[in-house]
A and B are shown apart, each in its own frame.
Chain A
């Protein structure tokens, strides 16, 4: 089955700096890769996703890149702000799959 590894487990950055979180997956059949942000006491919020027919996707300060050959994908947050502090989860889902496999999560702290 699919296995997703996520690094780093914690990341501290200065406000205004960029943050990068990386995930690798094992199942080459996976073709859908969402990223979720979870703030304390809340449910995960879908912030961006990418499908395997696309190499990069941007939405304002966040972007996701996908390298199918290497089987890894990354979340990039530019100009970080204190409100970006949260736990971020990556996930993968195989073609015609019916469930998401999550990474272990990254605690992002943005220091002001």
Chain B
């Protein structure tokens, strides 16, 4: 089973709201990723967690705050977002960081009003 699940599927939030995106995998993978994807563009890497520790932050604004509570879960906390942050947010996982297959979830479609 190569399933990565994400909730919610859709999210609409105002610029003053605080919300969280959730991601879960049960493949025993030790690397998890957050990507942002704008329409008609490839995914852009935001964060990488390896063995539950943040290993890469691609200079993402602090209004995005990742959290990895355990090896199966990954959260992305959102606060004071801007309309340009509206996008599809994708979670992925792989056995380990490095040249291992990454499996993506279905994404959360975020709209910031």
Min distance, Cβ A22 to any Cβ of chain B, angstroms: 16
A43 touches B106 (CB 8 A): yes
Question: Which residues of the partner chain B approach A51 to less than 8 Å between Cβ atoms?
Answer: 99
Q: How far is the CA of A34 from the CA of B55 in the complex (A)?
A: 22
**Contact of A31 with B42 at beta-carbon distance under 8 Å, contacts A43-B104, A43-B106, A98-B56 already known:** no
Given contacts A43-B90, A44-B43, A105-B41, contact A98 B102 (CB under 8 A): no
Nearest CB on B from A41, distance (A): 8
Are A98 and B97 CB-contacts (below 8 A) given A44-B90, A103-B42, A104-B41? yes
- Return chain B residues, CB-CB under 8 Å to A105: 40-42
| B contact residues around A44 at 8 Å (CB) | 43, 90, 104
Within 8 A of A (CB), among B35-76: 40-43, 45, 48, 50, 55-56
**CB proximity of A88 to chain B, nearest CB, Å:** 11
Q: Which residues of A contact B48 (CB under 8 A)?
A: 98-99
Expressed in whole angstroms, the Cα–Cα distance for A44 and B88 within the complex equals: 11
Count of chain B residues with a beta carbon within 8 Å of a chain A beta carbon? 23
Question: Which residues 8-53 of A sit at the B interface, judged by CB distance below 8 A?
Answer: 31-32, 34, 36, 42-46, 49, 51
> Which of B6, B90, B102 is A46 in contact with, Cβ under 8 Å?
B102
> Would you call A49 and B101 a contact (CB within 8 A)?
yes
Given A42-B106, A46-B103: A97 and B98 interface contact (C-beta under 8 Å): yes
> A residues within 8 Å of B by Cβ?
31-32, 34, 36, 42-46, 49, 51, 89, 93, 95-100, 102-105
Q: What are 10 of the A-B contact pairs (CB < 8 Å)?
A: A42-B106, A43-B4, A49-B101, A51-B99, A95-B99, A98-B50, A98-B97, A100-B102, A104-B41, A105-B41
